[in-house]
Structure 1
């Protein structure tokens, strides 16, 4: 006879609560990695206005720079959001809601990191090698990140479901 508290078919002998705790900890670890990357990019961006060459940026480059700063701030907020939600839901027996919402938030944050990486790379290439190089680098990086962050996980999911 099976235990109703144990999640069936997941290959682990853990209760639903244990599974939610494990899933939450895994999400927190992923968010820590994301946070470090965003902090590095944001720190880089925040130092740029204090460089002497910053005054030489044209309107497009300034716009791209400011867009990247906003993306960095919003992505940071997204990465912090699950922690805020956790504080609000703490001890309310809503771990499943917390894990589900944090999963969705983390996916959006990954998109923010991808866009921030594309924007920052495009800006650096634009400033150092010209507009065409910046647009090309941004476009290529966007395509690569779409493949790596969207297509590859979808394909792996399909393969896992078939196997």
Structure 2
């Protein structure tokens, strides 16, 4: 047997031993080749934090663009011609937009202040609540912005009807649909996803 053949045979034996050891570890963990390994509590918290960060990036982009537009409106020549109702709607919209921005950026501030304090589960729970609050404020900001714009473009009654329809659509997409999916999953026979133990 040549040196090349001996080297190849040695590598083959080594690979078989490594695969056998991996299969043995997987068997002890109770996870088959097609099964997902159950995540630890720490991994679950880290995963949920990363998910919140991704969601926050999407929401922050929308609210920042909208808030920038709202701030610029006050410096346009047409702003002086707005009536009392439109000015009230504008002020309310700006306040809602600022509040939404605060809620959606708050998880970053909380994480920075509590980083290294071994409170990641608490940070994730608080960030989740702030995200939900921020989404409600963002929806209200969008609705008031539409009312402000449409009130100038179309008759008052039509503007209010259109805004009401849009807000109903937001409620269906953002809140009713997720709640319906959660209840449907809970009624499904067999072991369902179940509640997340870190959810408050």
Query: Does 1:137 pair with 2:162?
Result: yes
Structure 1 residue 141: Cα displacement: 1.5
* TM-superposition CA deviations, 1:59-87 (whole Å, max 9, x none): 00010011111111111111111111111
Find the structure with the greater CA-based Rg: 2
Inter-partner Cα distance in structure 2 for 1:91 and 1:142: 41
After TM superposition, the structure 1 stretch with the greater mean CA deviation from structure 2, 113-122 or 141-150, is: 141-150
Structure 1 residue 143: Cα displacement: 1.3
Query: Does 1:75 pair with 2:132?
Result: no
Structure 1 residue 53: Cα displacement: 1.5
Inter-partner Cα distance in structure 1 for 2:37 and 2:163: 43
Q: Which runs of 5+ in 1 are unaligned?
A: 4-10
Inter-partner Cα distance in structure 1 for 2:177 and 2:71: 33
Structure 1 residue 14: Cα displacement: 2.0
Inter-partner Cα distance in structure 1 for 2:102 and 2:175: 22
Q: TM-score, normalised by structure 2?
A: 0.73
Work out the number of aligned pairs and report it. Answer: 156
Give the counterpart of 1:104 among 129, 137, 145. 129
Query: Does 1:26 pair with 2:76?
Result: no
Match of 1:125 in 2: 150
Runs of 4+ in structure 1 off by over 6 angstroms are none
After TM superposition, the structure 1 stretch with the greater mean CA deviation from structure 2, 149-158 or 130-139, is: 130-139
Query: Does 1:43 pair with 2:76?
Result: no
Inter-partner Cα distance in structure 2 for 1:94 and 1:55: 50
Query: Does 1:16 pair with 2:41?
Result: yes
Aligned partner of residue 50 in structure 1, secondary structure: coil
Q: Which runs of 5+ in 2 are unaligned?
A: 1-27, 30-35, 189-200
